[in-house]
Amino acid sequence: MRIAIINGPNLNLVGRREPDIYGHESLDAYLERLTQAYADVDFTLYQSNHEGDLIDELQRVGFDADGIVLNAGAYTHTSIAIADAIRAITAPVVEVHISDVMSREPYRRVSMIRDACATMIAGYGLDSYRRAVDWLLALPAKS
Ligand code: DQA
Q: What CATH number does residue 34 fall under?
A: 3.40.50.9100
How much is the mean pLDDT over the chain?
97
Q: Distance between CA atoms of 62 and 5, rounded to whole angstroms?
A: 11
Report whether 67 contacts 91 (CB < 8 A). yes
Q: Is 22 a catalytic residue?
A: yes
pLDDT computed for residue 143 by the predictor: 62
Whether 90 is in a domain gets the answer yes
Whether 143 is in a domain gets the answer no
For ligand 1, atom 8: residue with the closest CA: 73
DSSP-derived secondary structure letter, 14: B
71 lines ligand 1 (CB under 6 A): yes
10 lines ligand 1 (CB under 6 A): yes
Q: Is 46 a catalytic residue?
A: no
Q: Which helix (H) or strand (E) holds 4?
A: strand 2-7
Whether 142 is in a domain gets the answer no
Distance 98 CA to ligand 1 centre (A): 7
Distance 119 CA to ligand 1 centre (A): 16
Q: Distance between CA atoms of 97 and 110, rounded to whole angstroms?
A: 13
Q: Distance between CA atoms of 104 and 121, rounded to whole angstroms?
A: 15
Distance 5 CA to ligand 1 centre (A): 15
Domain residues for the domain of 66 are 2-137
pLDDT at 15 over 90: yes
Render pLDDT for 47-90 as a digit per residue (tens, 0 to 9).
Answer: 999 999 999 999 999 999 999 999 999 999 999 999 999 999 99
In the chain, how many domains are there? 1
Report whether 94 contacts 67 (CB < 8 A). yes
Render pLDDT for 117-139 as a digit per residue (tens, 0 to 9).
Answer: 999 999 999 999 999 999 999 99
> Please, is 20 exposed, middle or buried when counting C-beta atoms within 10 Å of its C-beta (0-12, 13-18, 19+)?
exposed
Whether 91 is in a domain gets the answer yes
> The whole model's pTM is what?
0.97
